[in-house]
Structure 1
């Protein structure tokens, strides 16, 4: 005999939530509230010190920031001193939040060393916030001998000491999601996205069309805009005469629309620029861009700034996930760039393990 689940109905005749589901919902909400009450001792990389200070200033009852001296000995080796251990040990037995930014190999190694010391200090847990995972695109090897740095970074994280619970690595808009599963042992990736930050910003704009520069970006982000009234446009590169690859619109129309192109990161920005040109030529009223991670090596952002040879965008939105770059960007009235602050997003995602 088949047992049917009871169907609950309001007096109005509308379906009522199953009491079991209601209890689960209440329990889930209580767990979120409990997480939001967790207090953290905060350590930060040099580039993340400003974020740590603002974090502690905004919620002093929850976040206590301890400055770190990132010095060097005369021979160039690290001379690092983490505060919070002397004259009284305020770190041991506590939840620790480490704000990381891997700007180059030198600072990356220095930060790994601090993580090891923290995990060997009898802490309760370690959460590492690394908004931009810089080696995400180096996850495959086509020529023998090439180093897949996504794999080597994963080995370093996975080899961190254990404090009894895995180290949580919080990253945003990871270029290739399979990197999440490169971690093993004592580290677990917690994947998040900056798209809600963009969507809140777009609520105060005329943007009525979301465009993706290629199929990869569409696969990563299109679901985030499902249910939206905005037109969705997907572009891609096609091979033309003389084997030249050009950007073309593959799905949707931008004619008469205000468009924002969405992607995970920008380096030199060649494809982003070509996409912007194509959309304007196709009749877009305005074209802006958003990238989660503004890498811009060798100050390539200057080409997109006002007066630059790639100044095709009305607005260029980025987050401060790479603060060493975004701190240099010209912003304000009359400028192209606008930096969206990750502070509140990080606070929210500390308590949310499934935002992606």
Structure 2
């Protein structure tokens, strides 16, 4: 049986279809005072998989409510987008490691033999906070295959910075194209330029690839710079399309040709499904 969390209802349905398993009927609503209400209406089967991204505090609460219903059962828990994963370091005294706090809270509900899966979590070290077997799945090959099918002109895949180049390299090597990263150069206290480190993108189709797009500010800057440098068309690829606030407007104003993302978060741009990736991991 597959249980889809409130932010993963479509993905839960796709995983259920891929595995030919029943999709549980659940109710997600609120009490008059705003507290979250969760009910699993279907009769529970012996083997259960929960698919639940946690992009908001409310999603975390409802995931814990689901796990409370399943307390004592061995389950497979899939958290495609793991909220708070970026808060994995302490920069100032008194700051919490929120990624650790989320992992420990979730882990407390899991019975012996349960397994945890994430998809391109911000830092895999977060998984060390689970007592149970925790595995991070890689959706970069799915994005690479989608990019390959787009018929781009002399494409190059670019990471927005050196720290995120691993995904760009993996996708580029799968397709057999060039890759690079954007390097910042500071000219003064207020003037900073950004350009590909080695590759000339002039006249080429460029795909800027990262694990997530949040506010869109950095990506919008990258698009503008690449277009000013002569890029033919600029696309964005992302596993997690967080896209908060006016992010899409920023990207469109900067001149993005299209945004390619997976359904770890269910947005209008989520055209690449990770359901098959999750189903394959669960089978194995």
Q: TM-score scaled by structure 1?
A: 0.72
Residue matched to 1:65? 23
Q: In structure 1, what is the Cα distance between the partners aligned to 2:60 and 2:270?
A: 27
Q: Deviations over 1:192-239 (max 9, x none)?
A: 111121122122223321111100111344134336531112112222
Equivalent pair of 2:8/2:265 in contact (CA under 8 Å): no
Query: 1:339 and 2:271 equivalent?
Result: yes
Residue 177 (structure 1) aligned to one of 116, 124, 141: 124
Equivalent pair of 2:25/2:41 in contact (CA under 8 Å): yes
Residue 215 (structure 1) aligned to one of 150, 158, 162: 162
For the residue of structure 2 that corresponds to 1:346, the secondary structure is helix
For the residue of structure 2 that corresponds to 1:268, the secondary structure is coil
Query: 1:206 and 2:151 equivalent?
Result: yes
Q: Alpha-carbon deviation of 1:280?
A: 2.2
For the residue of structure 2 that corresponds to 1:255, the secondary structure is coil
Residue matched to 1:280? 227
Query: 1:50 and 2:10 equivalent?
Result: yes
Query: 1:292 and 2:239 equivalent?
Result: yes
Residue matched to 1:235? 182
Q: Deviations over 1:23-64 (max 9, x none)?
A: xxxxxxxxxxxxxxxxxx11121222233334434553xx11
RMSD: 2.2
Q: In structure 1, what is the Cα distance between the partners aligned to 2:187 and 2:79?
A: 40
Q: Alpha-carbon deviation of 1:338?
A: 6.2
- With a CA cutoff of 8 Å and minimum separation of 6, indicate the structure with the bigger relative contact order: 2
Q: How does 1:56-95 map to 2 (within 5 A)?
A: 56-57=16-17, 59-60=19-20, 63-85=21-43, 90-91=44-45, 94-95=46-47
Larger Rg over CA atoms: 1
Q: Alpha-carbon deviation of 1:146?
A: 2.0
For the residue of structure 2 that corresponds to 1:132, the secondary structure is coil
Q: TM-score scaled by structure 2?
A: 0.89
Q: In structure 2, what is the Cα distance between the partners aligned to 1:249 and 1:57?
A: 42
Q: Deviations over 1:156-178 (max 9, x none)?
A: 1232242x30x322111111222
Q: In structure 2, what is the Cα distance between the partners aligned to 1:282 and 1:247?
A: 10
Residue matched to 1:189? 134
Residue matched to 1:9? none
Q: In structure 1, what is the Cα distance between the partners aligned to 2:175 and 2:14?
A: 33
Comparing 42-51 with 68-77, greater Cα deviation is found at 68-77
Equivalent pair of 2:31/2:37 in contact (CA under 8 Å): yes
Q: In structure 1, what is the Cα distance between the partners aligned to 2:167 and 2:227?
A: 24
Q: In structure 1, what is the Cα distance between the partners aligned to 2:151 and 2:202?
A: 14
Residue matched to 1:317? 260
Q: Which runs of 4+ in 1 moved over 6 A?
A: none
